[in-house]
């Protein structure tokens, strides 16, 4: 039997920690340049250590993804179409997300099966996390 090539050890940049499950075994590891806009700058303010900054960003992303799993609203297809139409402006700031109920009432969008008053009420009663999850589910 041929000998296996030597495996990288801890400290070697090509070393990967052992994966704990099949999903983790397919992870892509490497350095990625990332722009630190104002939200990331605030999140990591005062931190200089690259590993601590990376850890903070990854913990925050992990918690965010978990929040997205547990929030959102049950929407009909016409309601989703209406919100997608409103979100087509592109980037949705937190303020714009909070104003979704108002945007629904002001929108000229119409389609079969859409009850804009009911959608407006549903959005107004939702938490901010629910609204963010809806916008994320629409891809904005």
Q: Does residue 51 form part of some domain?
A: yes
Q: Which two tokens stand for residue 17?
A: 């920690």
pLDDT single digits (tens) 32-75: 788 889 999 999 999 888 889 989 999 999 999 999 999 999 99
Q: Are residues 61 and 88 in the same domain?
A: no
pLDDT single digits (tens) 117-133: 999 999 999 999 999 99
Q: Please give the tally of structural domains in the chain.
A: 2
Q: How many CB atoms lie within 10 A of CB 87?
A: 19
Q: Does residue 22 form part of some domain?
A: no
Q: Does residue 34 form part of some domain?
A: no
Residue with tokens 């979100």: 87
Q: Are residues 93 and 123 in the same domain?
A: yes
Q: Does residue 107 form part of some domain?
A: yes
Q: Does residue 123 form part of some domain?
A: yes
Q: Tell which phi-psi region holds residue 114, choosing left (phi > 0), alpha (psi between -120 and 50) or beta.
A: beta
With both helix axes pointing from N to C terminus, report the angle between 50-70 and 128-137 in degrees, rounded to the nearest 10.
90
Say how far apart CA 64 and CA 6 lie, in whole Å: 38
Residue 31 · residue 18 · CB < 8 Å = no
Q: Are residues 90 and 113 in the same domain?
A: yes
Q: Is the pLDDT of residue 8 over 70?
A: no
Residue 130 · residue 71 · CB < 8 Å = yes
Q: Does residue 11 form part of some domain?
A: no
Q: Are residues 117 and 93 in the same domain?
A: yes
Q: Does residue 15 form part of some domain?
A: no
**Could you tell me the pTM of the whole model?**
0.72
Instruction: Show the domain range for 62.
Output: 42-71
Q: Are residues 65 and 86 in the same domain?
A: no
Provide, rounded to the nearest whole percent, the portion of the chain with pLDDT above 70. 79
Q: Are residues 66 and 81 in the same domain?
A: no
Q: Between the CA of residue 90 and those of 9, 82, 116, what are the distances in Å? A: 45, 14, 21
């Amino acid at each position: 039997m041929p000998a296996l090539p030597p495996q990288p050890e801890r400290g070697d940049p090509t070393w990967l920690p052992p994966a704990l499950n099949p999903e983790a075994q397919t992870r892509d590891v490497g350095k990625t340049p990332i722009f630190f806009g104002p939200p990331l700058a605030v999140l990591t303010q005062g931190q200089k250590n690259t590993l601590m900054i990376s850890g903070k960003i990854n913990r925050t992303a992990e918690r965010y993804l978990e929040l997205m799993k547990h929030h959102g609203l049950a929407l009909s297809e016409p309601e989703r179409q209406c919100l997608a139409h409103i979100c087509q402006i592109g980037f949705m700031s937190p303020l714009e997300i909070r104003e979704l109920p108002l945007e629904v009432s002001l929108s000229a969008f119409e389609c079969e099966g859409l009850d804009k008053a009911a959608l407006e009420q549903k959005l107004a009663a939702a938490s901010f996390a629910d609204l963010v999850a809806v916008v994320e589910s629409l891809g904005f």
